């Protein structure tokens, strides 16, 4: 005997089968990938968080501001020696951040 819920879903052309099920991560990933404005906002809002996680406490303490626009991450530091040190490792930092983002969004890093 079929339940009312099953009958009503089938009557409207919906199926309760598991053949098209996706987890929330997959659905959000597809949504972000197809909507550039949403993707830009999503990744921009996560740059600060990812910077803190990947660069660590010491570097984060000397970071006064981060901005991200058009693939360029601007990093503002309060320490001249750290600025010089990070400038020499920009390619490695870019790779670390892009790996954490799961996409090649950071194309260039400018350190001030």
In a domain, 48, yes or no: yes
In a domain, 84, yes or no: yes
In a domain, 12, yes or no: no
Contact status, residue 72 vs residue 47, Cβ threshold 8 Å: no
* Rounded distance between C-alpha atoms, residue 62 and residue 82, angstroms: 8
In a domain, 44, yes or no: yes
DSSP tag of 6: H
In a domain, 91, yes or no: yes
Contact status, residue 87 vs residue 93, Cβ threshold 8 Å: no
Record the tokens describing residue 29, joined without a space: 């990933």
Structural domains in the chain (count): 1
Containing structural domain, residue 40:
20-111
- In this prediction the pTM is 0.67
- For the segment 13-43, what is each residue's pLDDT rounded down to a tens digit? 555 555 567 778 787 777 777 777 777 777 7
In a domain, 87, yes or no: yes
- For the segment 42-65, what is each residue's pLDDT rounded down to a tens digit? 777 789 899 999 999 999 999 999
């Amino acid at each position: 005997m079929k339940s009312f819920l099953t009958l009503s879903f089938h009557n409207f052309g919906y199926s309760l089968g598991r053949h098209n099920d996706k987890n929330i991560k997959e659905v959000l990933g597809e949504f972000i990938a197809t909507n550039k404005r949403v993707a830009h906002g999503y990744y921009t809002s996560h740059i600060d968080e990812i910077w803190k996680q990947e660069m660590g406490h010491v570097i984060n303490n000397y970071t006064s501001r981060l901005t991200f626009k058009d693939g360029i991450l601007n990093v503002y530091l309060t320490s001249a020696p750290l600025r010089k040190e990070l400038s020499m490792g920009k390619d490695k930092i870019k790779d670390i951040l892009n790996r954490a983002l799961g996409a090649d969004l950071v194309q260039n890093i400018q350190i001030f």
